[in-house]
């Protein structure tokens, strides 16, 4: 199921969707990591941004 880009904010801002390249780029830049590091962290702990941040030590 694709993101509904007409619905922004709220819960969508708390999740990292690795199927959307622009999200991977944005979150990687925000956390200061490579896209591979971000994807590995999401694979390990799930898509919630706070969990990924903790996994990355940020």
- pLDDT by residue (tens digit) across 6-58? 555 555 689 999 999 999 999 999 999 999 999 999 999 999 999 999 999 98
Residue 55's H or E segment, with its range, is helix 49-56
The predicted pLDDT at position 10 comes to 54
Q: Which two tokens stand for residue 22?
A: 């622009």
What residues contact residue 50 under an 8 Å CB cut-off, 6+ apart? 14
The predicted pLDDT at position 58 comes to 82
Neighbours of 48 (CB within 10 A): 14
Higher pLDDT pick, 1 / 32: 32
Rounded CA separation 48/13 (Å): 9
């Amino acid at each position: 199921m694709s993101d509904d880009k007409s619905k922004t904010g709220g819960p969508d801002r708390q999740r990292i969707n690795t199927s959307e390249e622009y999200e991977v780029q944005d979150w990687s830049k925000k956390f200061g990591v490579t896209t591979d590091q971000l994807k590995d962290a999401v694979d390990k702990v799930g898509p919630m941004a706070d969990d990924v941040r903790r996994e990355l030590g940020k």
